[in-house]
């Protein structure tokens, strides 16, 4: 799925179309919803100023920019927190805002995703919420497409086992 390149006059519709997806991707690397919003905003500004003229599908470039901005934010905060000896609960906020009847299942999914090894979690987020192909994920994470696909399969197996324990043992 190729996202058309935004121009000076149509960045708002482009952002309205892809912003929610970028926000979910940002949650992979941030500690709160507000941090994710800040990261997406920073990434979009970086993209708009420096990369929008590169051509091609801008979505993978934006996801790279989101990832970099999130990691920059995390490094900065980690350094500050080490100095201040602060404690931050990484799971304090929900990643999803589900309907009331879906809340328990969404919470279970969120907990299961956070328990995945980081290598698998990154691939799942980029594949499902980022909408990237395994080739694009491989480029993002500097690995082969086969490795990305394997990590995705392992993650899905782990999620199935965690979320459906009766089916897997019965």
170 residues of the chain, pLDDT tens digit each: 555 555 556 678 878 888 888 988 888 888 888 899 999 998 888 887 776 667 677 788 888 888 888 888 888 877 766 655 434 444 445 555 555 556 677 778 888 888 899 889 889 988 888 888 999 999 888 899 999 999 999 999 999 888 887 655 54
Q: Is the four-CA dihedral 36, 82, 122, 51 of positive or negative sign? A: positive
pTM over 0.75: no
The candidate with the shortest Cα–Cα distance to 122, out of 148, 98, 104, 96, is: 148
Helices 11-27, 58-84: axis angle to 10 degrees equals 50
pLDDT the model gives residue 156: 92
Domains of the chain from N-terminus onward: 1-93 (no CATH), 97-170 (1.10.10.10)
């Amino acid at each position: 799925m190729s996202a058309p390149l935004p121009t000076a006059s149509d960045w708002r519709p482009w952002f309205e179309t892809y912003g929610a997806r970028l926000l979910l991707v940002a949650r992979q690397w941030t500690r709160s919803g507000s941090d994710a919003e800040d990261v997406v905003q920073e990434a979009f500004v970086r993209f708009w100023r420096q990369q929008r003229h590169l051509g091609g599908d801008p979505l993978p470039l934006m996801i790279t920019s989101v990832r970099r901005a999130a990691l920059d934010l995390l490094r900065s905060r980690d350094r500050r927190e080490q100095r201040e000896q602060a404690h931050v609960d990484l799971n304090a906020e929900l990643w999803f805002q589900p309907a009331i009847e879906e809340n328990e299942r969404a919470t279970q999914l969120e907990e299961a995703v956070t328990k995945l090894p980081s290598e698998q979690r990154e691939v799942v987020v980029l594949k499902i919420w980022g909408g990237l192909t395994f080739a694009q994920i491989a480029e993002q994470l500097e690995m082969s497409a086969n490795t990305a696909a394997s990590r995705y399969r392992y993650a899905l197996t782990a999620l199935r086992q965690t979320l459906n324990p009766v089916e897997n043992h019965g």
